[in-house]
Chains A and B, each alone.
Chain A
Amino acid sequence: MESFKQTDGNRDELIIQQQRDIEKEISDTTPLVSEQLPLTCLWAEYNGDEIFTAKIQDLSKKYKFIRRTRPDGNCFFRAFAYSYLEYLISNSSAYQEFRKLAEESKEKLVQLGFPSFTLEDFHETFMEVIKRVSPDNPGGLSQVQSELHKIFNEQGYSDYVVVYLRLITSGKLQEEADFYQNFIEGDLTIETFRHLEVEPMYKESDHIHIIALCTALGAGVRVEYLDRGEGGTVKAHDFPEGTEPRIYLIYRPGHYDILYPN
């Protein structure tokens, strides 16, 4: 009996080890956020598959570039933050508005019951990132853009931003629990869902995450869905419905990247 338990424990350790190796391989080969790449680089991934080739062709009429994010389960949050900040640095009034909203978000989360000590830590770093990409930078737009790219490829900053967005998302779910409860499958309560699917790092995002985050920050997102579905065109969906999108993302099953419209 004892020896059985022992081998069981070893197997767990082996699984954990293997998982770490896979993660390491991904992080060694893929940057957190890539440079802008021509959209047609997607063709190479699908080896001339007819459905995908046609759909990518269709997509390239509307979008010129793609920016890849590391597939680590945080891709939606990272892509969202990068894309939104990129929009804000070229739009001073929206930037100021967002900065104020971000500044006040901490107080709101504390009131919702988040532990203030650790929250403070994440909020401080989040605000620091926002300040560093201020459009008022004397170096001009291109310098701010390269600063943004650098920050998002530094694991510490990049992940702190992801955590803070996860907390904002979780806060929104709690704030409007009655509404969001309808979107949750199974018997999970909002409370459990937040702790299992929203707050932990590396947990993939679903529609419910996107809606909550967009609503909380007042930012419109358009997601283009590239999959094997019928028809030669890519379907798009706006969150929250009816708002003008500021952030453009492409979704392929399990992963989000950033898009740049023509």
Chain B
Amino acid sequence: MSSSSASGGRKQPTAVSRMKQDYMRLKRDPLPYITAEPLPNNILEWHYCVKGPEDSPYYGGYYHGTLLFPREFPFKPPSIYMLTPNGRFKTNTRLCLSISDFHPDTWNPTWCVGTILTGLLSFMLESTPTLGSIESSNYDKQVFAQKSLAFNLRNTNFCELFPEVVDEIKLRLQGTQAAAAGGVASTSSGAKRSNGLANGAALAAADGNLAGGGLANPLNAGDAIDGGAAGPSDLAGGGGASALQNSARNSYLNWQSVYSNLVIIICFAIFALIVNYVIKNLNQE
């Protein structure tokens, strides 16, 4: 191998040399909403930070995760993990996307770090289910988004790799603390009451997002969605519909329980009457 590099002038292409190129490219053309850095001592482990885009239920959140590249990169895909609780993906679980190592058969060697992360973000903005995904309401996502600020500051890798994001988060935390000092009690109880309303508004926003196809990204939307050839667009539609149904079900839930309680009480009364009647008859005999 050493003789080959001597005669070729360049070393055999490896995952490391490719990662270096990817790194330089990301520095040159940064991605919208996303920053990514490799670990200083291991260029095959990358950390990323996604900022929740406006018009999405993730707005205001910062999402930290990792990409683990195999030695065979770019011929084999990386594993993708999310570390910050977010309401869309399980944390510390390998995610199953067409761009991750669950699908070596749909992986395309021309994809790079930028493509992977853009694909991840656009998939996050959809509600298509996949292995490693979870369902949650937009309200939950907003709660996660608020909690993500403090959560990420507790991660040493995050603080080391993204000092600029850390400053930004600290500034925002100071801002919210000042505001919270004023009327935390009144807003928190108010927020609970207007929960249904906020939910509806956020849903509408998310809906617009889905229709718009999320972000402009180099990945074909069909490529980004998991499921390979098997009709990914149906899945997307189904996912959106089920999310809507879910929220509708939530608001009817109270009425349903009232009805079922009523039915149980009536049944119990009828039963009592029957028992009463039987006992009376027995007594007469």
Closest partner residue, chain B, to A131 (CB atom): B8
User: For chain A, what secondary structure do more than half of its interface residues adopt (helix, strand, loop), or is it mixed?
Assistant: helix
Whether B112 pairs with A118 at a CB distance below 8 angstroms is yes
Q: How far is the CA of A202 from the CA of B107 in the complex (A)?
A: 10
CB pair A118 B106 closer than 8 Å:
no
CB-CB under 8 A for A199 and B75, given A121-B18, A147-B7, A157-B12: no
Contact B228 A196 (CB under 8 A): yes
- B115 x A151 contact (CB < 8 A): no
Given known contacts A16-B101, A159-B75, A195-B223, is B110 in contact with A119 (CB within 8 Å)? yes
In chain A, positions 154-172 with a C-beta closer than 8 Å to chain B are 154-157, 159-160, 163, 167
As a 0/1 sequence over residues 104 to 128 of chain A, the CB contacts with chain B under 8 angstroms (1 = contact) are 0000000000110111011001001
The verdict on A167 contacting B10 (CB below 8 Å), with A121-B18, A150-B4, A200-B105 known, is no
Please tell me if the beta carbons of A114 and B110 are within 8 angstroms of each other in the complex: yes
Q: A195-B220, A201-B76 are in contact. List 7 more A-B contacts (CB 8 A).
A: A13-B94, A117-B21, A118-B110, A121-B18, A147-B7, A156-B14, A157-B12
Number of A-B contacts (CB under 8 A): 79
Chain A residues contacting B21 (CB-CB under 8 Å) are 117, 121
Q: Could you tell me if B12 and A154 are in contact, using CB atoms closer than 8 angstroms?
A: yes
Chain B residues closer than 8 Å to A254, beta-carbon distance: none
B109 CB–A CB distance under 8 Å? yes
Are B8 and A132 in contact, with the CB atoms below 8 A? yes
Question: Is A202 within 8 A of B104, CB to CB?
Answer: yes
Is B33 engaged at the interface, CB distance under 8 Å to the other chain? no
A218 touches B (CB below 8 Å): no
Asked, given contacts A16-B101, A114-B110, A203-B105, whether A192 binds B13 with beta carbons under 8 Å apart, the answer is no
Q: In chain A, residues 186-203, which have Cβ atoms closer than 8 Å to a Cβ of chain B?
A: 188, 192, 195-196, 199-203
Q: How far is the CA of A212 from the CA of B85 in the complex (A)?
A: 47
B74 adjacent to A118 (CB under 8 Å): yes
